[in-house]
Each structure stands twice: as structure tokens, then as C-alpha cells.
Structure 1
Amino acid sequence: MNSVRFSGLLREFRRHAGLTQQELADLSALSVRAVRDLESGRVHRPRRETVRLLGATLRLEGARRAAFERAATEHAESRSTPPDPALIGREAELTALLGLLREGGRRLVTVTGLPGVGKTRLATAAAEHLRLSGWSVNGGLPDRDALLLTDRPQDGPPIGELLRRHPGLRVLVTAPAPLRLAGERVLPLAPLPAPRPAPGADPADLLRQDAVRLFLAHLQRVRPGHRLDPAEAATVAELCRRLDGLPAAIEHAAEWCLIQPPRRLLLWARQSPLEPADSPAAGPLLRTALHRSISELTYTEAELLRHMAGPGRGAGRSFEQLLICTGIPAAELATAVHALLLRGLVRATPGATAEEVDSAERFTVPYLVRHSLAETAAEAEQLATQQATRATAQRTTNSTHPLRLLAATG
């Protein structure tokens, strides 16, 4: 797209100036072949000096000059390195995280969210930015500009003690939930937006969605050179929506494209999004992590989550509706909803329009979490049935044991 954009701009500006390719070449001291290659997109990396000469010859100024130079730069960057999937759609979150770490009074930052949402990848990218700017990352602990990056800390010295000993230390933690330490700032990381594709939506618009871009980036890794048919854009967008925009689930679904086209994966996801969300190489890691995240909830949080995921509640419930339906005291309910939001097990969505009576924000349960709840409930029911069957069999065995029969007959 960048290649077409740069070559198209060059051709448009040349024609607007009333110049032929030969005339532009003569005036800019370039060869006519160079101009032709640039306009056709055959030149992958236009030199900065070449771009400057062309801009001066075409008398580009202001916004037109900036757009021309930006297109050339984006062209070169897109050809030199493929997009990093870890940062697709995460520019705002990365900026926010770096801002928190650089603030003088904020020394402990925890990134929370669903398993597979990209907490570790975002934290690693932030740590790399700080390292390139001169910080010490996971090295020694000097008095200033040092960062400790840790994933779900369990062992080693307590974080509070480390912060007291080293005034210049910042600690960046990735975990399912906050550590609940003094001075902690929490950055909840949400999945990528994956709206329902509208009927007749422009494929180009769908391909620009962050979740779809992430799918395509991973698809290029398992099938280099593969190009998605524009007709498949709506299918991929719907698949990403069924996977809740969760980066790990999208990555695994792209891996399945080695043997299944996107339309088959969508049919699979409609039955259970957990199936294409499992890695074809590593197995049900994401499924297991989701089950574990649910198992770590308090009793109130677990009961509230099950209520919110009940039949017919896909549109979500407002806080007031939850207050009425659950009977949980307002303060306790607010704490439980907040905890579920930080874990990513519940997401907040806009309510009705302001003109309508019920315009409050609504809380919904993602598809993957709903199916994880259903699986854990089915497994618990199966386990209870097995235990009851074994208990009945044991009682029957005991009642028919020869010694018991002898005692019963005297």
C-alpha cells in the first residue's frame, strides 16, 4: 500500500506540474529510468537525496511536501522490516506505559489482563525503549534509571523491599491481577477492538482494523508471500471478533491457516472459539490459562461472572441492573466488577444512546470466557457424577461383602 501511495503521489505531482518523465529527470538531475522505476514502484528504497531533489523540482511545499516525504519514508520502512505483531494496535498503550514508568512518583506499574492479551510483549517493548534511552534493564540496581521487569512475581525478595533499598528503581510487573502494594499503578490491557463487520463493508476498511492486521501479520509468518483475497476480509474480521480480539487467540488461528482456510476457522469458532484459539503446535495453553484465571476468583467474583455469562445476557448488564438482579451490596458489587475488569474477564461497552432512558455503560463477558465457564462447569458436573458413581459402587460393594453378609445372618 505504501509503495502504491508513493509512486502514485510522484506521478500525480509530476502531472500537476505539467512535466513529462523526461522533463522531470532533466530538471532534477536524475535519469529518466530512475523516474520511471520510482513511479512504477520498482525501486524499493528511494534515497533521501532523491526525494529531496524531486520535491524541490516539483516545488512541493507545506502539507504536500510533508506527505510526499512521509510516503517515501513509510515505503522504505515497510520494505526493510515487517511490522512487529507485538506492537500492532498497541501504540497508545505503549505510550501510556512509558509515561507511567517515567513519572517520578510512580515506581511500581502492573500490567493486568486476560491470558494471551499481550501483557509480556507490551512490557518487553517498553523495557526495550527504556534500554535504548540509557536505562539499566534487569541488570544491576544503580541509584537511578533502572528497571526490573518481572512476570507474575512469586520468588525472590519482596518488591516493596527492593523499592525501598533502591530509590532509582522502577518495577514493571505483568500479572493477571494487581499486586495490591502501596504506590502501585495498574494498566489494564484490553484485547484489540474487533467490531462486527457491517453488511457490505469496504474490504479495505476491514483490512485496516488492528485485529485483522495482527491476523495478517501472523499469517505472513506461517505462509510467507500469501495475500488475502479481499473477499475474505469480512470472514477474517468476524473470526477476530469471535476470538474477542485476543492477540494470542488470533495468532493461533493464523497458525491453523496452514491446513484450514479462514471460512472453516470461522465455522469452528462459531461452535466454540476455544478450538481455533488453541495452538496447533503447543496445545491448549490458552484454554488452560483461562481456566486457571477463572479458578483464582473469589467466591463473589466467580458467582457474579457466572451470572453475567448466563443465557440471554450477551448484550450485557448495567451496574444498576446487576445490583437489582444479584442482590449484592453496592460496595461489594463495585469491588467485584472492578476486579473482573482488571483481569479482563469482563469488558465495559457503551450503553444505549443518551436520548434513551437506560444509557448506562454495560458490562459483558467475552466469548472465550463464556465458553471457558461452560467447560469448567461441565467438568465440575462430570467430576461430581463420577464421585457419586464411585460412592454408590463402594456402598454396594460393602453391603455385599461376605463378612457383612455373615454378620447380617448372625
Structure 2
Amino acid sequence: MNSQTAPGLDVLLQNARRRAGLTQEQLAGLSTVSVRAIRDLELGRVQHPRKETLRLLANAMRLTDARRIELELAVDAQAVGRVFQDIYGADLAVPPAPLRPLVGRRPELEALTARLSTEHERLLTLVGLPGVGKTRLAQEAASLLHSRDRVPVLWVALDGAAETTGAAANSPLSTMTGWVRALVRDGEKLDELATVIGHKPTLIVLDGYDSSPSAIRPLLNLLRVCERVKILTTTCRPVQLPGGRLLPLAPLPVPAPSDLAASLPGDSLVTDRPAVELMLSHVSHMRPDFLPTDTVTTTAAHICRALDGIPQALEAAASWLLLYSPEQLLDIARTVPLVLVDGVTPTDPAAGPTLSDRLAAAVTGLGPRATALLRTPVDPWTVDDAARANGTSLAETARDAHALLVRGLIRQLPTTPGGPVGFTVLNLVRAALVAEQEQQQEREHGSLVDALAE
């Protein structure tokens, strides 16, 4: 915000009404607020209206979130930008508090925090499959920088998820969070945000960049204006932003088939295998009576492999243990894994698409070559194998394999010194491809039936 005196409630209300193309009488009719009350507000006779009155007026004028917050804050004697500028710092800009410990991801966390701690990396993007843990890793990195280096963190959930900062409603912290979120989503008055931040080091996290890709472009100007600002985005679909760096996040490592076939003791399947550790923690939460015996641990390890080590899928699958034994759960995971990944409890529609829906969206819209690569008949395969099987050039196959690997749709297998690099398609991705093909066949059959009926 500039150094001039900010407009008061009277001016803001007049401007908002005129932008909406309404007279005072029309606004009164739409809002159920009297003409006299509106006139008194616009003349500055009333400085502290009820919050309900502001809400009715804002709804009638269909104001954006940013404009609504601006009206509410204008009730105070000081301008919002100057208030935030005076108190802005690590105590005001706090990342969402993680609700659970981070399991695994130590190398990824170290790599991410190292890049965020350098002066040379200012725009980073975490990319990976839905449910793989991008938001959780970003939370851990942001919390570490906030607590260790006292870096203010402005967290913006672009996918509609609610931020959990632990702040009480109407507190400065929650007000700041709402103000920044509204500015970013609306793409308005980011110069005010730049003035508030100034020369202070700040991390801006845009969680769910897929949901609002247009939000990043205005924010890129902040990198030019505020030299100590850094931006971290999370996304399922990689987009190379100008001057940015992509950081692919793969699923958690799962036990190799040879380890599972060797009938190793249960402890051996947990050591250095965070997916199994995470699954066992969910098992003990859902079924405390299931002790971590070798049998339970081995079955959990097989489930982890069937569900590709995707954290959200593992948690959802564990919820079915109230209905099925671990052995039954493994059978379902191997045959119809998409049934498990949404959990047994009905999801709240307000929470957005389910994990199975988001996995399906991850495989739709791929080019024909990439889709064919996912359906390569040999498994595992090398780039050379896939090129021969699909009749494509090595260069085309390599580019497609790289794109699929960045998006997390395929997994790179461990290699031996001097040996070829092998890849395998994730089980949940295969299941999503089969489901998509079946739906396409149903649509084509329905179209054919309709055509014959005509």
C-alpha cells in the first residue's frame, strides 16, 4: 500500500456500489439495509456499522473476498496495509501447523530446505501425484524455516482447502491470512502486499497451484519488487515457470518383490522403508488389537507395494480394517485398488474431488504417445524396450518417460552398476487407465445405442 491515507469506509462503500452499477435505493432493495443507513455510511456519519450490515451489503454488491475484507478492516481507524506493515513479521505470518509427524522424506526435506535457504533459488515447484504428500512436505519445510530462521510464511491454499494456523478467529494472524489469500486469489492490489513485505525475507506457499494457475503470474512481479521473497508452489501437473525449478516428489519407497518373496522378519521390512512404517502406524490406530507380528508386518508391506507407497492411499486403505482383515485388504488392493483409496468414510463434497477422481484426472489429457507408454506390454521396461514395443523413436520415448517420471506416474527402479535404468508403471495408475478405458467404452456403447434408437 502506498504512503497516502487509505480511503475510509465511506469512500470504499461508495466506490463498491458504483462499480456494481447500483443506486442507493437499488442497493437497499437487494441488501434489505435501509436507504437511510446506506446514506449515513457513505456520508461518514456511521463509522462502526454492525458486521452483519457489511455482510448484507457485500453480498448484494457481489464483492470479492479482497473487497469484503477491505470493507471490514476499513471500520478500524487505521489503514489495513499500514497496520500489517507495522506488525508484519514471523509472529504474524505463520505456516499451518502439521497435525502429524512426517514419516520418511528426510532426503526430500533436506533438499527442499537447502534450496529455500539459498539466495539463488527463489521459485520452486513441488510436483507429484495426488496424495503423494506435497502439501505435507511443504508444511514441514515452511515450519522449519519459520522456526529456525524466523522467516515469515504466507500460506495460500488455492484448492479450496482450509488453512490451519491455530489462530483464533478475528485475530491479527487469521486476518492477515485471509487478506493475503483474498489478494492472491483475486489477483488484485498485490502492490499493497509488496509494500507490507518490503525488504523482509518471506516465503509464499501456493498450495494446489493446479486449481488456480493464473494466480502465479501476478505474484512473479513480487520476486522483482521484493528481492527477499521466495515462492514455493505445489502441483500435480508440472509447469515450467520462468526462472523456476521443478522438484519431483515420488511416492514413498516400497519393498522390492525379492524382499517380500524372501519371507524376511517383519522388522527387516520396516527398517528404512517409511511406507511400511506409515502403514503400520495407521493399522495400529484403526486396530489397536493388531500387534505388529511378522505376519501383520509382511501383509502391510504387500499392501504398501500394491498401493505404490502413496501416503494418502495407505491411510485410506487402513480405514477399511474395521471391515476386513489385513489379508482381505491385501486381496482387494491387488485386484481393485481404486476401491480402497477413498476410504470407508464418505467424503465431504466440500473437500473437493476424491483421491480416485484426482488419480483419474492425472492420467486423462495425456498425449497418445504418453498413454501408449503407460500401456507398454512389458514390465518393467527400459526406454529402449518401450521404444521397440511402441514403435517410437528413442528421443520421443525418452522425453515421454521423463514427463511421466516427473509427474510421478512411473517409478524408476533400483539399478546395478553399469546396468540399464528400468521403469515400472504405478499400480494405481494402471487401475486408473483401465477404469478410464472402461468408461470410454461405456460412453461409446451408450452413443451407439442412442444412434440406433433414433
Q: Report matched runs for 1:228-267 at 5 Å.
A: 228-267=292-331
Q: Please say if 1:120 is aligned against 2:135.
A: yes
In 1, Cα distance between equivalents of 2:417 and 2:99: 37
Which residue, 120, 139, 151 being the options, matches 1:135? 151
Q: Give the whole-Å Cα distance in 2 for the aligned partners of 1:296 and 1:148.
A: 29
CA distance in 2, matches of 1:115, 1:99: 24
Q: Mark the CA change 1:207 to 1:325 in structure 2 (over 3 Å): closer, same or farther.
A: closer
**Aligned: 1:87 with 2:150:** no
Number of the residue aligned with 1:369: 429
Q: Which amino acid aligns with 2:300?
A: V
Question: Per the alignment, do residues 203 and 302 of structure 1 end up closer, same or farther by CA in structure 2, a change over 3 Å counting?
Answer: same
Post-superposition offset of 1:180: 1.0
Describe the superposition over 1:306-350 as per-residue Cα deviations: whole angstroms up to 9, x where unpaired: 3x2x3xx23x21111222232333333322111100111111113
Give, in whole Å, the separation in 2 of the partners of 1:341 and 1:286.
19
Question: Residue 169 of structure 1: CA displacement?
Answer: 0.9
SS in structure 2 of the partner of residue 170 of structure 1: strand
Measure how far apart 1:371 and its partner are.
Answer: 0.8
Q: Distance in 2 between matches of 1:157 and 1:171?
A: 9
Aligned to 1:207: 270
Cα shift at 1:87: 1.4
Equivalent residue runs for 1:233-382 within 5 Å: 233-282=297-346, 285-306=354-375, 308=376, 310=377, 313-314=378-379, 316-351=380-415, 354=418, 359-382=419-442
Classify the secondary structure of the residue corresponding to 2:204.
strand
- Percent identity between matched residues is 35
Q: 1:194 aligns to what?
A: 254
In structure 2, the partner of 1:152 is: 208
Alignment correspondent of 2:242: 182
Give 3-state SS (helix, strand or coil) of 1:111's partner: strand
Question: Which residue number in structure 2 is paired with residue 20 of structure 1?
Answer: none
Aligned residue type for 2:452: T
The residue type equivalent to 1:100 in the other structure is: R
**C-alpha distance in 2 between matches for 1:236 and 1:246:** 13
- Counterpart CA distance in 2 for 1:377 and 1:298 is 15
CA contact (8 A) 2:204 2:231 kept: yes
- Answer whether contact 2:280 2:300 (CA < 8 A) is retained: no
| Distance in 2 between residues matched to 1:248 and 1:300, nearest whole Å | 29
Equivalence for 1:406: none
Alignment TM-score, normalising by the size of structure 1: 0.69
Deviations 1:55-74 (A, max 9, x none): xxxxxxxxxxxxxxxxxxxx
Question: 8 Å contact 1:147–1:172 — kept in the other structure?
Answer: yes
The aligned residue for residue 22 of structure 2 is none
Counterpart secondary structure, 1:156: helix
Q: Structure 1 CA distance, aligned partners of 2:422 and 2:439? A: 30
Q: 1:299 to 1:200 in 2, by over 3 A?
A: closer
CA RMSD of aligned residues (A): 2.2
1:108 equivalent in alignment to 2:123: yes
The separation in 2 between residues aligned to 1:157 and 1:375, in whole angstroms, is 33
* CA shift in 2, pair 1:157/1:206, >3 Å: closer
Q: Is the 8 A contact 1:256 1:276 kept in 2?
A: yes
Partner Cα separation in structure 1 for residue 230 and residue 201 of structure 2: 8
Q: 1:231 to 1:317 in 2, by over 3 A?
A: closer
In 2, distance between residues paired with 1:85 and 1:241? 23
Contact 1:290 1:372 in 2 (8 A): yes
Compare 137-146 and 87-96 and name the one that shifted more. Answer: 137-146
Cα distance in 2 for partners of 1:302, 1:152 equals: 24
Name 2:171's counterpart in structure 1. none
Assess if the C-alpha contact under 8 Å between 2:128 and 2:134 holds in 1. yes
Instruction: Judge conservation of contact 2:254–2:304 (CA < 8 Å) in 1.
Output: yes
**Aligned-partner Cα distance in 1 for 2:327–2:118:** 47
What's the counterpart of residue 56 of structure 1? Answer: none
Whole-angstrom distance in 2 between the partners of 1:266 and 1:226: 15
Residues 151 and 203 in structure 2, CA contact (< 8 A), matched pair in contact too: yes
The structural deviation recorded for 1:225 is 7.2
Say if 1:243 and 1:269, in contact at 8 Å, map to a contact too.
yes
Does the C-alpha gap of structure 1 residues 296 and 143 become closer, same or farther in structure 2, counting only changes over 3 Å?
Answer: farther
Q: Is the 8 A contact 1:85 1:217 kept in 2?
A: no
Residue ranges of structure 2 left out of the alignment (5+ in a row): 1-97, 155-175, 177-195, 348-352
**Contact 2:290/2:296, CA 8 A, preserved across alignment:** no
Please give the alpha-carbon distance, in whole angstroms, between the structure 2 residues aligned to 1:225 and 1:141. Answer: 52
Give the partner amino acid of 2:283.
L
The structure-2 alpha-carbon separation of the partners of 1:112 and 1:237, relative to structure 1 and needing over 3 Å to count, comes to same
What is residue 165 of structure 1 aligned with on the other side? 225
Larger radius of gyration: 1
Q: Is the 8 A contact 1:291 1:372 kept in 2?
A: yes
Q: Give, in whole Å, the separation in 2 of the partners of 1:112 and 1:378.
A: 28
Could you tell me how far apart the structure 2 residues matched to 1:85 and 1:194 are? 21
Tell me, in whole angstroms, the C-alpha distance in 2 between the residues paired with 1:198 and 1:84: 35
Contact kept in structure 2, 1:160 and 1:181, CA below 8 Å: no
Higher relative contact order (CA 8 A, sep 6+): 2
Distance in 2 (CA, whole Å) between partners of 1:175 and 1:157 is 12
